[in-house]
Amino acid sequence: MRKLYRLRWAVIALIALAALWASRRINSRLPEIPHLAIDATLAAPPHVSAIITQHCADCHSEATRWPWYAHVPPASWLLERDVARAKRMLNFSLPLLGQRDPASSISILSAICKAARSGGMPPWRYRLLHPNSALDAADQAWLCQWTQATIPYLQKITAAEARSKNGKATR
């Protein structure tokens, strides 16, 4: 009986230490400036910026709002991994062209529209805990219109870069 009592307290102590460790780790990664002006880095109309801020910024920006369960393992580990993975794919706190070359940005813009239309974003795990995060048809249409309008601009930049590289190569 005494061993069971000690084992129970040891498990509780381990869980408490894990929670403290996870909490410290997540809080150390919070940005010093909580909102790095997503609107300033996006060449998007205000209503598209609002959609991105409301539905995408928690994972795809430096303005992540960590919920209470982000400090409790193992949820904290899953959340940190998912957010880090999302930011590697696309970080709206950085200029879209500053993250990748124009050709890659074109494929990212296409992927944004495709993910929005297919219901792939936000992911089902996020929507499960945030029921208002699902994109409605109007939000999907606005995102796709913005991405489709931005792609020709990036294609012009890509073509200009290709011409300048070819011009330098022939000299």
Tell me: the pLDDT tens digits for 105-117? 888 889 999 999 9
Contacts of 33 (CB under 8 A, 6+ apart): 62
pLDDT in tens, the chain (171 residues): 778 778 888 888 777 776 666 555 444 444 444 444 455 556 788 888 889 888 898 899 888 888 888 888 788 888 899 999 998 888 888 777 656 677 788 888 899 999 999 988 888 888 888 888 889 999 999 999 999 988 888 788 778 877 887 776 555
CA 169 to chain centre: 38
Cα 137 from Cα 149, distance rounded (Å): 18
Which residues does 59 contact at the CB level (< 8 Å), separation at least 6? 82, 83, 86, 87, 122, 126
> What is the model's pLDDT at position 129?
83
Give the global pTM.
0.70
Residue type, 151: I
Provide the pLDDT for residue 128: 86
pLDDT for residue 140:
94
Burial degree of 84 (CB within 10 A; 0-12, 13-18, 19+): exposed
pLDDT score recorded for residue 39: 53
Q: Which residue has the tokens 């974003």?
A: 121
State residue 42's pLDDT score: 62
Which residue carries 């580990």 as its tokens? Answer: 77
Residues 6+ apart with CB under 8 A from 38: 49, 52, 53, 57, 61, 63, 92, 93
Cα–Cα distance, 48 to 147 (Å, whole number): 10
pLDDT at position 25: 46
